[in-house]
Every structure is written in structure tokens, then in C-alpha cells.
Amino acid sequence: MEATALSDIWRDIETTEPSDRRKLAKELELPDLQARVLVQDRQLSQAIEGDDWLLIQLELPEVKRRDVVLRNLTLLLGASQIVTIHAGALDAEIAERVQTRHRESLTPSLIASIILQYTVEQFTPILNKIDDVTDQLEDTMIRTPQRKQVQQLFMYKRQLADLRKVVLSLMNTLNGLSSGRYELFEERYELYARDSYDYAWRTHELIDTMRDLLTSALDMYLSVVSNRMNDVMKRLTLVTTIFMPISFLTGLGGMNFSQLPFHDDTAFVIIMVLIVVMPLLMVWYFVWKKWL
């Protein structure tokens, strides 16, 4: 399905069918490598230059539940025309940004620069959302650490790893566009590509920073759990220690040997006093040492 928007220089095609992409590749006389990339719909940002067209493969990120979903957007940049191929409707904001430009100043390279800038900016709201959620998780984990929170942290860490791979491939593509590697991309718009590259680089650094923060949050969780476990073990050990002399005295007093003078009333009283006094003295000592 084709949508006409600035149809003399911009041709927008919405399709998911490989057959439609093959027809387009044949119509535009794309070389074999570009045709295969166009049909295969690779999930990797890249740029491939031919004689008449510069193919730019982009991935628009979107987080759905636990996974990062990539929406493919392919640009075919020619000397006088640009073709965009994608699944689903093209984001309306891209058309709005293009339409705000003066009609006389629009060129295929300028439209490509606008789309590249829009693609890079799509990472920011996703990272902001992940950052806000992880901040909330860190606050609650300090008070009441739960396994569900750890699973969420691992989920966001995996999402950041997926986003990092996409950003790295996008940076490679933008680096080639900004360095004059491709003749079909006009030199005067290399500054736009360089600005998008800087934005992508900052995004990459932010992703690495957030991954480090998530790792720190997981370490903090393990530390809190370990400290609480140590506290529980300490209390159980103290309780066991308190009952050790009681067990010893009752065991000693309960032995059935006539040689032991525990049939005497005085010995019975002494045993009972020790059973009561010794645990109390041990509890007082533990409190004095701040072990309890």
C-alpha cells in the first residue's frame, strides 16, 4: 500500500510482504546485496551504497512488556527521490517534521536526516521510563526486598542490553553518513548526521550508566538479603546458646545413677536455680554486648 506525501521526491510504502519488496527491488533495479537486505528485513541498522540508491536500514525501538520490539524502517536514498519502506503506518511525527520545512528546501538527503534524527530520539522516552521504574524499585527493595523486584531488574537489564546492540549498529551507520563515505548523501547534511551521531553516542553512554546502576541495585539487593539472613542466623545461634546450659543441666540431673547425689533436695534447688539464672545472665550479657 502506498501513501502519497510529497510524491515527487518522497515515496512512502507500507508493506510486510516479501513479494512486494522483491517487486520494488526489481522496479528500482537494486543490486543483489541491496535487494537481499530489503527482502530479508534484517534487524540491524546499516547502510549499503549502490550505483543509484543508498539503502539505509533503521530500527525503531519500542518496549512491550518484557521485550524490546524493533520496527524496521528502510530508506532508499536516490539523487532526486527517497523511498521509505516499513510495516504498519509511518509515525505521523515524521511527516509533520518534514512538512514544517519549506517545500523548496526539501531534498531526499534532508528527509533522510529528519528520519534519522527522529529514530535516535526514540530511545530517550524508553530510557526515561526504565530509569523511573528502577528508581522506584531501588527504594522499595531497601525496605522490603522481594523476588519479583529482582526479576524486574533482570528484565530491564536485558532490555538495556537489547537497546545497546541497536544503538551501536545505528552509531556505525551514522558515522558513515557523517564522514562523507556515501556520495548519494549530500555533504551539506553531514552535519545533521553528525548531530544524530552525537545524540546516539550520549544515548549509548546513558545505557551503559543505567546498566551499571542496575548491577549496583542487584548487588544492593543481594547485600540486604545476606545481611538479613546473617541477622536471622545470629538470633537463632543466640537462642541455641541460651538453651545449651539448660540442656546440659537437665541432662546431667536426669541421669539414673545412684552415685549422683541428685536425690537430695538441696541439689534439686541448686539445679533449678542454675536453670533459671544462667539463661538470664546470658541474655543480659548478649544485650550488654549489643548482640541482641
Asked whether residue 177 falls in the same domain as residue 93, the answer is yes
Asked whether residue 219 falls in the same domain as residue 129, the answer is yes
Quickly tell me which residue has 551521531 as its cell: 197
Asked whether residue 261 falls in the same domain as residue 223, the answer is no
Instruction: Say if 74 falls within a structural domain.
Output: yes
Per the prediction, the chain carries an average pLDDT of: 83
Asked whether residue 162 falls in the same domain as residue 25, the answer is yes
Output the CA–CA distances (angstroms, integers) from residue 75 to 54, 192, 288, in the order listed: 8, 16, 75
Output the CA–CA distances (angstroms, integers) from residue 90 to 46, 97, 109, in the order listed: 20, 13, 18
Residue type, 232: V
Asked whether residue 27 falls in the same domain as residue 152, the answer is yes
Given a cut of 90, is residue 114 above it in pLDDT?
A: yes
Residue range(s) defining the domain that contains residue 159 = 2-227
Asked whether residue 137 falls in the same domain as residue 282, the answer is no
Asked whether residue 220 falls in the same domain as residue 278, the answer is no
Q: Tell me how many domains the chain contains.
A: 2
CATH number, domain with residue 10: 3.30.460.20
Instruction: Say if 240 falls within a structural domain.
Output: no
Instruction: Say if 15 falls within a structural domain.
Output: yes
Given a cut of 80, is residue 199 above it in pLDDT?
A: yes
pTM: predicted TM-score of the whole model, two decimal places: 0.74
What's the confidence (pLDDT) of residue 70? 84
Asked whether residue 143 falls in the same domain as residue 71, the answer is yes
> How far apart are alpha carbons 14 and 176 in whole angstroms?
27
Report residue 83: phi and psi, to 5°: -120, 130
Asked whether residue 165 falls in the same domain as residue 258, the answer is no
Query: pLDDT, tens digit, for every residue of 39-78?
Result: 886 677 899 998 899 999 998 887 776 677 888 899 999 9
Instruction: Say if 234 falls within a structural domain.
Output: no
Instruction: Say if 222 falls within a structural domain.
Output: yes
Asked whether residue 46 falls in the same domain as residue 109, the answer is yes
Asked whether residue 275 falls in the same domain as residue 186, the answer is no
> How far apart are alpha carbons 3 and 199 in whole angstroms?
30
Among 20-24, 103-107, 159-163, 254-258, name the one with the lowest average pLDDT. Answer: 254-258
* Residues 204 and 248 sit within 8 Å (Cβ to Cβ): no
Asked whether residue 109 falls in the same domain as residue 198, the answer is yes
Instruction: Say if 239 falls within a structural domain.
Output: no
